[in-house]
Amino acid sequence: MHTGDWPTTVEEALAVQERLRGRVDLTDDLPELPPAVTGLDVAYDDAGGIAAAVVTLETAGLTVVEQRTHRAQAVFPYEPGLFAFRELPPLLAALEQLDHEPGVLVCDGHGLAHPRRFGLACHLGVLTGLPAFGVGKTRFVGSHAAPASARGSSEPLVDAGDEVGAVLRTQDGVKPVYVSAGHRIGLAHACRLTLALTPRYRLPETTRQADRLSRAALR
C-alpha cells in the first residue's frame, strides 16, 4: 500500500485493518537465532512531525550493521488502536533505504495484542512480507498474572479468552515487557529472541538503538 492510498479517516483505517488482518500468517520458519534483527521506532515533535528510525543489529554481538531515518509529517490523526496509520509511512520509507533486507522486524509496540488483533507488528509484517513481532513497554489490551521476578519468567496475556501475547521479565526484578507475535513468527520464538536482545537492559537493544536514533533525527 502506498501512502497515496493511505486512509485519512478512522472509518477507512478500521476497514483496512479488517481487510488485512486475515493475511497474518504465524507459520514460523525462522532460524532460532537469525543472523541480524532490525528494530524500529518513531519520535514526534510538537508540530506533528515524525522521525522514523530503523536499526539493524548483528544478533550475536548486538553491534550495529546499518541504520536509517526518515522524517515526515503525520498523515493520520492520533487515535488509539490506529497508531500504525501515523507511523507506518515514515517507517516503510526508512526500511526502503536499508542495503540489506531485514531478517526479522522488532517493533516498539504490539502485534496480536491489539483490540482487533492487528497491531503495528502485524500491519508491518503483512505489508512488507517480513517476520515481525512487537515488544511493548506497557499493556494495551488483556489481563495477566504477575510473572515471577527472575529473568525469563513469563505469564500469558489474555484478552477476551484469546492468548494474545506474553508478559515477559527480561531482567531480574524489573517491570516486564509485553511480547506479541506479528507475522511469520510464533510467540515462543518471539520471547526467546526478546531475551537474546535484552542481555543488560529491560528493553531490547533494537528498541533502545532505534529510540535513540529517532530522537536524534528530530534535533
Q: Give the class (CATH, top level) of 10-217.
A: alpha beta
Q: What is the pLDDT of residue 206?
A: 97
Q: What is the pLDDT of residue 203?
A: 97
Cα gap 163→212, rounded to integer Å: 32
- Comparing CA positions, the residue from 177, 209, 206 lying closest to residue 106 is 206
In tens, the pLDDT along 63-121 reads: 999 999 999 988 888 888 898 999 999 999 999 999 999 999 999 999 999 999 999 99
Say how far residue 95 (Cα) sits from the centre of its chain: 13
Cα gap 214→162, rounded to integer Å: 34
Given its phi and psi angles, is residue 161 left (phi above 0), alpha (psi -120 to 50 degrees) or beta? left
The number of C-alpha atoms within 13 Å of 176 and in the hemisphere containing its C-beta is: 23
| Residue 29 labeled ligand binder | no
Q: What is the mean pLDDT of residues 138-161?
A: 96
Q: What is the mean pLDDT of residues 29-53?
A: 93
Answer yes or no: is pLDDT of 11 > 70.
Answer: yes
| Residue 5 labeled ligand binder | no
The whole-model pTM stands at 0.94
Answer yes or no: is pLDDT of 17 > 50.
Answer: yes
